Amino acid sequence: MNRGRIFPWVQFAAKFWVPWLAIFLLMVPVLQLSAKGHSLKGDTRAGSTEQAVTENQITPVAESAWPGEVTYDSQQPARRTIRGKITDQQGAPLPGVTITILGTTRGVITDNDGSYSIDVASTDRLVYSFIGLESQIVDVGNQTTINVTMKEKTEELEDVTVVAFAKQKKESVLASIETVKPEELRVPSSNLTTALAGRMSGIISYQRSGEPGQDNAEFFIRGVTTFGYKKDPLILIDGIELSSAELSRLHPDDIAAFSIMKDATATALYGARGANGVILVTTKEGREGKAKVNIRWESSMSQPTKNIELADPITYMKLHNEAVRTRDPLGELPYSPTKVDNTIAGTNPYVYPATDWQNLLLKDYTMNHRLNFNISGGGTVARYYISGGITQDNGILEVPKENDFNNNIDLKKYVIRSNVNINLTKTTEVILRVHGNFDDYRGPIRGGTETYQMIMRSNPVLFPAYYAPDEANKYVQHILFGNFGNGNYINPYAEMVKGYKESSTSMMLAQFELKQDLKFITEGLHFRLLGNTTRDSYFDVQRSYAPFFYYVNSYNNRTDEYKLRLLNSDSGREYLDYLEGQKEVASTFYAESALDYDRTFGEDHTVSGLLVGIMRQYLKGNAGDLQRSLPSRNLGLSGRFTYAYQTKYFVEFNFGYNGTERFSANERFGFFPSAGVGWYVSKEKFWEPLLPTFSKLKLKATYGLVGNDAIGSDSDRFFYLSNVNLNDGNRGFKWGADGGYSRNGVSISRYANDKITWETATKTNLGVEVGLFDKIDIEADFFTEYRTNILMDRLSFSTFGLQAATKANVGEASSRGIDASIDVQHNFNKDLWLTARGNFTYAKGIYEKVEEPDYSATPWKSRVGQPITQQWGYIAERLFVDDKEVANSPRQELGSIVMGGDLKYRDINNDDRISSLDQVPIGFPTTPEIIYGFGASMGYKSVDLSLFFQGSARSSFWIDASATSPFVDNDNNYLANNALLKAYADSHWSEANRDIYALWPRLSYKWENNNLVRNTWYMQDGTFLRLKSVELGYSLPKNLYQRFGIEYMRLYGSGTNLLTFSRFKLWDPEMGGNGLGYPVQRVLNIGLQISF
Amino acid sequence: MMKSILKILITIFLAGTIAACDYLDVVPDNVAVIENAFSDKYNAEKFLATCYSYIPNFGDPWINPGLLSGDEVWFNEEIMDDSNTAAMIAKGEQNSLDPFLNFWDGGQRGKNMYVGIRDCNIFLEEIKRVGDMSEIEKKKWIAEVKFMKAYYHFWLFKSYGPIPIVDENLPIYVSTEEVKIYRDPVDSVVNYIVKLIDEAIPDLPLMLLSEVTDLGRITKPIATAIKARVLATAASPLFNGNPDFASLTDNRGVKLFPATFDATKWQKAADAALEAIETAEMANFRLVDSYQTKYKHSEAMMRELMLRSIVTTKGNTEVIWGCTNFPFSHTYQRMLQPLLITVTDANPVSQFYAATLRMAELYYSKNGVPIEEDVSFPYEDRYTLRTAVTAESDYVRSGETTAMLHFDRESRFYASIAFDRGTFVLEPTYYYVQCRAGEMATKRNKGEFSVTGYWPKKLLSPRNGFSGNSYEIDYNFPFPIIRLADIYLLYAEALNEVKAAPDAEVYEYIDKVRERAGLQGVVESWAAHSKNPQKPATKEGMRKIIQQERMIELSFEGQRFWDLRRWKLALDYMNRPIRGWDISGRNLNFYNVTTVYTPRFEFKDYFWPIRERERINNPNLVQNLGW
């Protein structure tokens, strides 16, 4: 579209008129209110009389918010007596149910065993009502016994959809919103984000690590359509923006609705924040009725989905020797033949160690526990929902016996939540929500992932974990840790044992919401106000001693005695020291007020309107520098106007008008409109013949703009200001004979640009909803998106002499795709039921315009038209046969000397050398383009079974050649030797076996850049399909526990990540190239669910 | 009640909407901007420091290519990993993808010189704003910054040859096309650098007010000395009519190297060197020729100690410009120091900074001529062994056996190189080096050993010392960038090139350097001891003599790397194997000459490659030949 001409006008209009319009709309009710004067006095009670049972009521009776009293009169002349028993859905008798005759005030109440009797005439109709349960009306007729099973009130959410700032009737929703049942998200994990992949259409998700606390999955709505820094969706929990960490802690049992908003109509109200989609979660509220308690306990066994196989220590030594000599014939052998021979012979395990660090430090599995409960209930005035949960996640680190501390990862998470709704008047409702998340972590100082990595970087033969004391060290108190050289090699055992870290994370959220029905002004008008504050804090503390490291100085092989040498007498320390770690505090304030209007005129015309104002501030206590310390703020006004005719034709207009502190005054506000139309085809007359087969057909289309203000980076916000450090030690200079006269210098980390503004997405969505036989629901959306104004670094020129890249809104990207879901529900008979569900998301985002050099001569280098997470690399043809072939091939000067057995790359541009110009797009993007899931649940009597498969396709990943290069030092803190993967030991090029298609090239003891640059040799297909979860449940027979007051009890076993189908075998494919990180976990779980 | 609640709520709503504009303006006044840097003298001095801060860390062998990228020193493989970028160049692994020691873009341990040049330009544009400074002082600072700007251009010039001159800064938001600048031809670059230095010289002080606070600030002697070096570099074969690079032409057709040799360039170099010598002498610089100590030493030892103190001693009279920002500290000195005492614990010295066998062979015999020319030196038998007699104990521990190569050498050999069984004085103690396999000065920890059995002793002050389990140093000396002997030899070199045949003028300044080393003049020495007694009489012979004199006198100071390049001799030197003694040999098995590494040097290695990324962004930058 021609944004250049239209957009400024729209912005102008928006800037000047929208606020005034808002003010005007708000003034009307105020004026009306004043005019009405005292009319509201005393109305509080008046409402109750309207609750008397009247002829107008239809079945089922609408919920009464303020019920009246019922007179119980037994003096009426007896005509006929009806008897019966009232039970609930579980078959338990219900005392206290009110039975009245419709149209009268006469009635009775059931006694303790739920039975009643009432005198009626045969034309009477009986109304059965009970707090919290659906009222029922029964025609008496000729019956003498009427037994009634009272049902729980069906949740409103079944026929309404949560949309931005409001709820809409499902049939009238035009936006692309996917809602998932909270039960679908229940996996035996304390991390909700791991359950998202494949559960609902429109989400692209993957999980790279399995470490407790660090195992959040990454997720994107409809893939990635930007190359700015914020790619992931806005997450709103009860309307409040929270991080994915908070989302991960939510318990499915507490969720009332979980929706993702995908297109412009769904997200436009979020204006500058919604471009990447929105995840909206609503937590449960209490409902009228007696206190209901749900308890869920789970215990699970967790183990890596796949363990990394390493070569044995002897092979390690031999190949390490080979690695040195094959690169440098003069090189010194790391292990003497004596050492190799003695290690093979197993002479003395301390002198000739062969340590299996994995085995020593990792457990086969670990146990985790979770306990959750919630209590809800309430009366007509106040309702409550409170819940709490404790989870304990343990790591897979082995705790050695010699250890002073238990250093396995122990992560405890506590969650409390309290949602209280109070009806202040019959039109005023106040909701108070308090929610807290608290984490306590205790574990190794460098965390699980790093500990795991250290294990993968430890030399198995240089030294043992620790020594048995020799003669001289008999009385030494400390552990005699093994080490080498100066004692600065990695000894992961010592690292793990030497101390521990404790950290605490707290998040407190308090929210106040007020809802006012303004029907006294005009029918259908409501006002809502919400205020929220969130406080985050984190701290950690470390306690550790400094290990004493020893090495075998001399060994007498006749007496089998060794003498140890202390390597670090000065740096070792027996007693604990303490280190204060990070401390982070932050606060968020959010306020929202909304005025909405919803009314149906006559039969045919439904109109609704919504105006919302929001303000938000985020302030960090320890941001690090002045500019970062300034608050982040947003301000917005949004609106929605809908019109429906005969619930067949729908139109909708939305807008968001948002401001952010990041941009200069001229660019600060942005206007994001969107519109949609819909047609409920199957409600047309002409469709009636088709209804038995095509029970539903709805078509919808939306188009609009959404923005993204999170550009640049979190710490780089004020683009219109330069960032100058006038006291930079790194830019200073020292003069004087002893350098005694020094001055700090000046550095610039950002150059001002006051033109920088929003990233804007133009989204189009075409959707269709189809129902078949009333059993199968299909929803499919086709979408396109065009993203403009993506912030990018300008092309850099060293001769320009700038200290920081300059940025501009020059990037453009587009995406298109499909997301679809299918739901099948079928009850074969009253005992056997089946539901099946499948969904599919395909999203492909590509670069449309990027700041890049002129690649017209080498078009394959250009990013334009390529997927956004596309990788460029060299095409590795095979390994070089020998040095001669290297000499006769195009020169490969990639930072290391190339020899036979190194990777041979294709010279794409035929300039007889391999340079960055020979890098071409290789493989699929790293973010999967397809995510899908399918599964089924079935039940037979009291047994239920569900299976769920999840898959991912069209992605590539690369084995991290640097991290897996055997023998090299890949650690920043210590000297280290990378472990040798068994796969590499089995298949590598060697002078003896010149396998030019071996998995690993010629060995080396150092980095060989030639073999480390991104290339096709290490490229892997990221496609996988996994049996994501299985659950088998059994509802225990009621007679076992009914007498203890328990209503329902279910025992179940479940598992996640049980089977994985992939072509890649070295590690779990979902971890991508990061295979030597903390592995993704397979979990087997048993759980018990009790309600009373 | 409801009414009042509503009123409150609506007021809040409205207030929020109306307060919109202010609510988002979170940035307070007084956020730092670049103009603050020139608000007063105190802040401007910080910017002056910033302009100085791009001076390379001369004393850091990982960063100064002069130290480790040539053939003077070699680290063992355990230290020479990929992160040792300077060593990667020595091995011949330079590449254009991500060049080592990249001072053009600021990568692989190189500083970004163009950022430095831009900062200098900012300083020159903005310094006039400063109110509380006298005009004289401003002029001095401007001259200093102009010199730095010239020096940064020179550093790029000697590395890359023709380079883009950045005389004025481009505005930040300029079109991409305007940023795509061209490399300027060699002669333009040299003229520009010299012009800048010439502009600076009049406003620079001859001497510093205080060495304690000002050493390292640019003075007239520094500026004239560097100007001499610039002109000598431009006159040298690499730049002056080099046929190998004459074909380097950019996409406008501009030839970047002068096609023909221009003899007047040597004349300019000679004039500049003389100007530099006169300026330095006016500022009281003179060759170091004595050593102050309270201990008694033999005359020969006093000379050795004097030679070891030229660059290592505080307040010496010879170093014109040293890198005060990055002194040669304990961290570095312990790398050069062989372990000389028995220690019970961790190694106090890391001793991996090894001199190559080539350097040990470079120094003259005691007669002041090359060992291969000396009629009395057993050159062919130099690797055979003999035992030192008592009279030789200043140099070799008496009664100990070592190679013939280590006997009968000039003082600079003993002052510059530590070898097995050689005497090593750390005043007042006379130690001797023991570095055969299993002995004291061999590998104790990973990487902590000399790979050749030699160490450069010259950079260790005689006043350093071992104490208990530690090693202490006398002075964190500013690593020399240029010193008086260097200009003497440049002058001799330039005059030799200017004149048809060498004469007394040519001999004068080289002989001053030789005299300080205890050697006779060139003519006398060659006449008396050389197989080729007429060598100093010819221009070519004298050129070789001056070159060897420079390599000896300035050994281990980071000059040879650049000299071999400008003389176009690197192709010859840098392809010879790096050799040393067999450090795995026990006892006398040590004395087997072993090849440590065979580096590669190709014609293209005379210049750094321009990083490929930069060339792709700016195709107007033609790549250096061969890359």
Distance CA B541, CA B533 (A): 10
| pLDDT beyond 50 at B612 | yes
Q: How many residues does chain B have?
A: 627
Distance, in Å, from the CA atom of B523 to the CA atom of B511, rounded to the nearest integer, reads 9
> Whole-angstrom Cα distance, residue B514 to residue B523?
11
> What's the rounded mean pLDDT across residues A125-147?
80
Give Cα A372 to chain centroid, integer Å: 20
Can you tell me which residue has the tokens 């007669």? B367
Three-state SS across B438-481?
A: CCCCCCCCCCCCCCCCEEECCCCCCCCEEECCEEECCCCEEEEE
Confidence of residue A49 (pLDDT cuts 50, 70, 90): very low
CB within 8 Å of A45: residues ≥ 6 apart? none
DSSP H or E stretch at residue B418: strand B417-419
Across the range A161-190, mean pLDDT stands at 79
Cβ within 8 Å, pair B34-A332 = no
Cα–Cα distance measured from residue B256 to residue B236, given in angstroms and rounded to the nearest whole number? 16
- How many angstroms separate the CA atoms of A696 and A693, rounded? 9
Q: How close, in Å, is residue B311 to chain A by CA atoms?
A: 13
Check if the beta carbon of residue A383 is closer than 8 Å to that of residue A430: no
Rounded to the nearest angstrom, the minimum Cα separation between B169 and chain A is: 8
Cα B121 to chain centroid distance, Å, stands at: 25
Question: For tokens 């295979």, what's the residue?
Answer: A1075
Q: Do A799 and B181 touch (CB under 8 A)?
A: yes
Mean pLDDT of B244-270: 95
Task: Kindly tell me if the per-residue pLDDT of B20 is higher than 90.
Answer: no
Give the distance from residue B365's alpha carbon to the nearest chain A alpha carbon, in angstroms.
32
Q: To probe the interface with A, which of B177, B608, B617 has the most A CB atoms within 10 Å?
A: B617
Token readout for B64 is: 């100064």
As a whole-number percent, the residues of chain B with pLDDT over 90 amount to 84
A-chain residue closest to B479, CA distance: A737
pLDDT value, residue B124: 95
Q: Which two tokens stand for residue A835?
A: 């539901």
Q: Is the pTM of the predicted complex or chain greater than 0.90? A: no
Average pLDDT value for residue range A236-243:
87
CB contact under 8 A, B81 and A895: no
Q: A-contacting residues of B 476-515, CB under 8 Å?
A: 476, 478
Average pLDDT over residues A955-972: 88
Q: Is the pLDDT of residue A63 over 50?
A: no
Closest residue in chain B to residue A717, using alpha carbons only = B27
Give ∠ CA A53-A55-A61 in degrees, rounded to 5: 55
CB A587 within 8 A of CB A533: yes
- CA distances for B483 relative to B310, B404, B478, angstroms: 10, 33, 12
For A830, counting Cβ atoms within 10 Å of its Cβ (0-12 exposed, 13-18 middle, 19+ buried), the class is exposed
| Structure-model confidence comparison of residues A676 and A521, the more confident one | A676
Q: Best of A36, A800, A1004 to disrupt the B interface by mutation (most B CBs within 10 Å)?
A: A800
CA-nearest residue to A489 within chain B is: B446
> Higher pLDDT residue, A57 or B551?
B551
State the Cα–Cα distance between residues A303 and A210, nearest whole angstrom.
Answer: 10
> Smallest Cα–Cα separation from B104: which of B169, B153, B171?
B153
Q: Which of A18-22, A371-375, A950-954 has the lowest mean pLDDT?
A: A18-22
The conformational region for residue B626 under phi > 0 = left, psi -120 to 50 = alpha, else beta, is left
Could A19 and B3 be called an inter-chain contact, meaning their C-beta atoms sit closer than 8 Å? no
Which of B17, B27, B617 is nearest residue A613 as measured by Cβ atoms? B17
Task: Kindly tell me the burial class for residue A116, based on how many C-beta atoms sit within 10 Å of its own C-beta (0-12, 13-18, 19 or more).
Answer: buried
**Minimal C-alpha gap between B32 and chain A (Å):** 6
B25 touches chain A (CB under 8 A): yes
For all residues of chain B together, what is the average pLDDT?
A: 92
| C-alpha to C-alpha distance for A652 and A669, rounded to whole angstroms | 23
The residues in B 557-586 lying below 8 A from A, measured between CB atoms, are 584
Each residue's pLDDT tens digit, B500-549: 999 999 999 999 999 999 999 999 999 999 999 999 999 999 999 999 99
In B157-242, beta strands by DSSP E:
none
Task: Supply φ then ψ for residue B410, to 5 degrees.
Answer: -70, 165
Question: Element (H or E) spanning A455, and its range?
Answer: helix A447-455
Given CB atoms, is B209 within the 8 Å cutoff of chain A? no
CA dist., res. B283 & res. B223, Å (int): 13
Q: A69: distance to nearest CA of chain B, Å?
A: 26
The pLDDT value recorded for residue A21 is 52
pLDDT score for B10: 55
Separation between Cα atoms, residue A906 and residue A508, nearest integer Å: 57
- pLDDT tier at A404, thresholds 50, 70, 90: low
Task: Flag if A514 and B5 touch (Cβ within 8 Å).
Answer: yes
Question: Which residues, including other chains, have CB under 8 Å from residue A951's CB and lie 6 or more apart?
Answer: A198, A930, A931, A932, A933, A1023, A1024, A1025, A1026
Residues 6+ apart with CB under 8 A from B483: B310, B311, B318, B319, B320, B321, B557
Contacts of B427 (CB under 8 A, 6+ apart): B293, B295, B305, B462, B463, B465
Cβ atoms A201, A841 nearer than 8 A: yes
> d(Cα B560, Cα B569) in Å, to the nearest integer?
11
A19/B613 CB distance under 8 A: no
Query: How many residues does the structure list for chain A?
Result: 1092
Contacts of B578 (CB under 8 A, 6+ apart): B71, B74, B356, B358, B452, B595, B596, B597, B598, B599
Which has the higher per-residue pLDDT, B448 or A197?
B448
Distance from the Cα of B50 to chain A's closest Cα (Å) equals 5
pLDDT at B212 over 70: yes
Query: Closest Cα of chain A to B345: distance in Å?
Result: 7
> Nearest residue of B to residue A797 by CA position?
B614
Residue A246 has, within 13 A of its CA and on its CB side, a CA count of: 25
**What is the gyration radius of the CA atoms in chain B, in angstroms?**
28
The pLDDT tens digits of the residues spanning B107-140 come to 889 999 999 999 999 999 999 999 899 999 999 9
CA distance A1045 to A291: 12
Q: Give the model's confidence band at A41: pLDDT under 50 very low, under 70 low, under 90 confident, else very high.
A: very low
Q: Two tokens at B339?
A: 């372990």
For residues A1061, A1067, A1068, A1073, the Cα torsion angle rounded to the nearest 10 degrees is -120
**Cα distance from A860 to chain B (closest Cα, Å)?**
14
Asked if residue A938 lies in contact with residue A832, where contact means CB atoms within 8 angstroms, the answer is: yes
Residue A50 has pLDDT above 50, yes or no: no
Cβ-Cβ contacts under 8 Å, B82 against chain A: 895-896, 1006-1007, 1009
Nearest CB to A746: which of B12, B50, B95?
B50
Of A332, A751, A897, the CB nearest to B172: A751
Task: Return the structure tokens found at A402.
Answer: 């010699």
| Dist CA A593 CA B14 (whole Å) | 10
Report the C-alpha gap between A854 and A651 in whole angstroms.
46
Residue whose C-alpha is closest to residue B438's, from B427, B422, B449: B449
Inter-chain CB proximity B2 and A29 less than 8 Å: no
Mean pLDDT of A954-969: 90
Q: Are B16 and A591 in contact (CB under 8 A)?
A: yes
CB within 8 Å of chain A, chain B residues 179-208: 179-181
CA distance A777 to A772: 6
Say how many C-beta atoms besides its own lie within 10 A of residue B177's C-beta: 7
Nearest CA in chain A to B214: A736
Instruction: Look at strands B385-387 and A669-680 and give their pairing.
Output: unpaired
pLDDT for res A71 = 43
- Is the CB of A736 less than 8 angstroms away from the CB of B212? yes
Distance CA B60, CA A297 (A): 63
CB count within 10 Å of CB A54 equals 9
pLDDT at residue A66, rounded to an integer: 40
- Determine the residue type at B419: F
Contact A1091, A1048 (CB under 8 A): yes
- The amino acid sitting at B337 is Q
A740–B595 CB contact, under 8 Å: no
- Mean pLDDT value across residues A241-246: 85
Confidence of residue B15 (pLDDT cuts 50, 70, 90): low
Question: CB distance A30–B596 less than 8 Å?
Answer: no
Q: Is the separation of the CB atoms in B609 and B385 below 8 Å?
A: no
Q: Do A585 and A536 form a contact (C-beta atoms < 8 A)?
A: yes
Contact between A786 and A812 (Cβ < 8 Å): yes
Nearest alpha carbon to residue A274 among A810, A763, A845, A651: A763
CA distance A263 to A78: 63
Angle between helices B504-516 and B522-529 (to 10 degrees): 80
A·B CB contacts under 8 A: 273
CA distance B209 to chain A (A): 11
- The closest alpha carbon to B63, from B16, B21, B101, belongs to B101
Residue B159 has φ and ψ, to the nearest 5°, of -85, -40
> Is B39's Cβ below 8 Å from some Cβ in A?
no
Cα angle at A942 between A939 and A947, to 5 degrees? 35
Mean pLDDT of chain A: 84
Query: Among partner residues A427, A897, A917, which is closest to B93 by beta-carbon distance?
Result: A897
